[in-house]
Amino acid sequence: MKMPPYLLVLSLLMVTKVMAGEKVNWRGFVAQGVIQAEHSNYIEDDGGVSVKLTEIGLNASYTLDTNLRVAGQVVYLNGGNRYPEGVRIDYLFLDWSAVNTLDWQVNMHLGRVKNYHWLYSSTRDVPHTRPTIVLPQSIYFDNFRDVALGVDGLAVVANTNNDFGDWEFNWSYGKSTISEEQTKNLVGQISTGDLDQRFVHQANFVWHDQKLRLGAGLLDSGFEYTQGPSDPFFDGNAEVQRLMIRAIYETESWQLAAEIFRERTMYDDLVFPGFSNDSTGEGGFVQGQYYINPELTLTARLDIFDVNRKDRDGRIREQQSGGTAPAYFGFQDQATFGVSWDFAKNWRVQAEVHRVKGTGRLAPVFIPNTVLNDRKYWSIWGLQLAHWF
C-alpha cells in the first residue's frame, strides 16, 4: 500500500498519542456475511455462494486543541470481485475548525479525506449506516469504490442555518491512488500499464428542513494511463464530469430517497493513438424505507443505469463491437428488497435480494467479460451480521 508522507506523519502522531495513554476516542465495526451473485462475476467468477462479505473497521480521533483534531480509520474489506481485498487506510486527516460559532461551522480537512458529497459515500463500508448490503450500483459502483471513497487532498465542510432551513456545503480537491488490480478491473485484465487519477474536484450543497432534504453536486476528474510492457493499450487520458441531484423525504415511520446523476466520460488515445470517445451515461435510484418499529426496517429500491444515454438498450455498442459486447452490457437495472433487524444494542442482521437486468456495472469496465457474464438477467442475495461499538 503506497502511503503519502503526510499520512505517515499523521499515523505516527496518532500512535504516539495512543502509546502515551492520552485520551483517544475509539470506535469500530465488524461484519461478516454470505452472498451469491449467480450467473455473474460480481462476487465470484463462478457465481457461487461466497463468504467474501467481510467488513472490519477501527477508528480513532484525538483532540489536539479546541480547534484542531486528527481522525483516522483503518478497514479490512473482502468483497470478492467487488473491490481489491485487504487492509487500507480509509481516512486520516487533520480537522481544523476554522469557524465555530452558534450560526456557522466551517471545518477544513487535510490528509486522506472522505467523500462527503453523495448520500452514502462517506460510510459505504459501515454496515449499520447503509440501507442495504449492496448499495445502488448506478452511483455506488463497487469497482470504482477506492477511487470514489475520498481523496488525498483538502476538503471544506460548512454548515449554517437561516429562516429557510439548514444548509450544508462540501468542497474537496485531491486525488486517489489506483492499485494495479483496480487498473485491470477498470481498463481490462490484459492491461499492464499504470492508471493515475490526476485530480478530482467536487462540490455539493444540501438544504433541509425536518422532513425534506434536497441536494446537488458537481464532480470533475482527470485520469492518465501510461502504457506498460507488452501492453495492448496505449498512453491515454480520460476525463469524467458528473452532475448529481438528490431528494429525501422523511416521516416518523418511512423515508423516500432518490439520487440521480448524469456523467460525461471522454477518452483520448488509450485504445490506439488518435482514438477519441465522448459519451454520457445516466442513472439513479428511488428507494423507500418503512420502519415497522425502531428495530425493524423494510427497504425497496429500483436502481437504473445506462452506460450511454444515446444507446440506452446497448444495441449500437453491440454493433460497433461486432457482436462481441452483447447489448445488455449497455445498461444495468436493479430491483432490490431488503430487511434489517437491530436485534440487540449495536447488533444488526440484514438480508436482501436483488433482481438484475443487464451487466453494465460489472468489471472490467472498458473491455467487458462476456464469458463469465453471459446472462442478461441475474440475481444477488445476501445475509450479513454486523456489530459496532
Partner 1 sequence: MNFAHADGKSVTVLIHNDVKTTELTSAQLRKIFSMRQTLWPDGTPIVVFVLPSQHPAHQALCKDMLKMFPYQVERIWNKLAYSGLGEKPIEVSSEQEMLERLRTTPGAIGYVMENTDFDNAQSLKITGG
Between 29 and 225, CB nearer to partner 1: 29
Torsion of CA 169, 175, 176, 180, to 10 degrees: 160
Residue selected from 2, 21, 101, 229 as contacting partner 1 according to rule CB under 8 A: 101
* Range 190-249, binding partner 1 (CB under 8 A): 209-210
- Size of site (CB under 8 A) for partner 1: 42
Is residue 103 a contact residue for partner 1 (CB under 8 A)?
yes
Stretch that binds partner 1, among 67-75, 132-140, 349-357, 369-377 (CB under 8 A): 67-75
* Range 131-190, binding partner 1 (CB under 8 A): 157, 159, 161, 163, 166
- How many contiguous H segments (helices) and E segments (strands) does the chain have? 4, 17
Pair 160, 100: CB distance under 8 Å: no
Between 248 and 270, CB nearer to partner 1: 248
Task: Give me the count of residues in the chain.
Answer: 389
Residues 61 and 136: their CA atoms lie apart, in Å, by 30
Between 198 and 211, CB nearer to partner 1: 211
Residues 72 and 210: their CA atoms lie apart, in Å, by 31
Residues 71 and 129: their CA atoms lie apart, in Å, by 19
Residue selected from 29, 83, 140, 171 as contacting partner 1 according to rule CB under 8 A: 29
* Range 279-298, binding partner 1 (CB under 8 A): 291, 294
- For 148, the enclosing helix (H) or strand (E) is helix 145-148
- CB 222, min distance to partner 1, A: 25
Between 25 and 226, CB nearer to partner 1: 25
Contact residues for partner 1 (CB under 8 A)?
Answer: 25, 27, 29, 57, 59, 61, 66, 71-73, 91, 93, 95, 97, 100-103, 105, 107, 109, 113-114, 116, 122-123, 126, 128-129, 157, 159, 161, 163, 166, 209-210, 250-252, 291, 294, 388
